[in-house]
Amino acid sequence: GINAEYGGGERIQMEHNSDTNQLAKLLLRIEEEKPSSEMIQLIFDILVGGSHSQIKQVLNKSLVRLVNPEAIKILFHFLPYCQLARQLEILCDVGKIINHSLLNLEACRSISLLDNLLDLLPKHKDVLFDKTLYVIKILGKYNIEVKEVKKCFSILKHYYTLGQVKFEFD
């Protein structure tokens, strides 16, 4: 779940997906459905338990551990409300962070992040679709369940029949 401490030492703990979705909706309402850079930064800070801007600088040099993986779901909830460049930045940063260690991959598996990403995939187009597939690929290489494989193939088959996706294997 999400553990966060606010100003007066007040702690909030969110354990369930519905709690995370409610928090995301509340934050969007507060932000008038236009998440500010500061709000996205705050969610990243909660995600990694520190300053995300500093973490971007050390990501290639040292371990960055997900402290509150549920915060990724909030970031993904924000995606449709952000400009394309911000959406790509969020997906890229999340991909780098989760790919940084097995602990991060396991944390994402424990919150069923791959399934959530597969739900987002049909809503994304072009470069955003490709970046979402990149994050799905990272998670899928670590762990994928049969239901997720079926869902993934169903989505890809749909896009393949429309001529919008080409299969490349590496």
**One pLDDT digit (tens) per residue for the chain, 170 residues:** 444 443 444 444 444 456 777 888 888 888 888 999 999 988 988 888 877 666 665 565 567 888 899 999 999 999 989 999 999 999 998 998 998 889 999 999 999 999 888 888 777 777 888 898 899 999 999 988 899 889 988 887 877 776 665 656 55
List Cα–Cα distances, 77 to 24, 25, 119, 159, in angstroms. 7, 8, 11, 23
Kind and range of the H or E element at 41? helix 37-48
Of 107, 111, 81, 75, the C-alpha closest to 93 is 75
Q: What is the pLDDT of residue 49?
A: 82
- Residue 132 and residue 120 in contact, taking contact as beta carbons nearer than 8 Å: yes
Q: What are the phi and psi torsion angles at 79 (to 5°)? A: -50, -50
* CA 94, chain centre distance (Å): 6
Which residues fall within 8 angstroms of residue 37, CB to CB, at 6 or more apart?
Answer: 86
For the question of whether the overall pTM of this predicted structure is more than 0.85, the answer is no
Of 80, 154, 73, 150, the C-alpha closest to 117 is 73
DSSP state of 56: H
Q: What is the pLDDT of residue 114?
A: 92
SS3 170: coil
Which residues fall within 8 angstroms of residue 94, CB to CB, at 6 or more apart?
Answer: 72, 75, 135
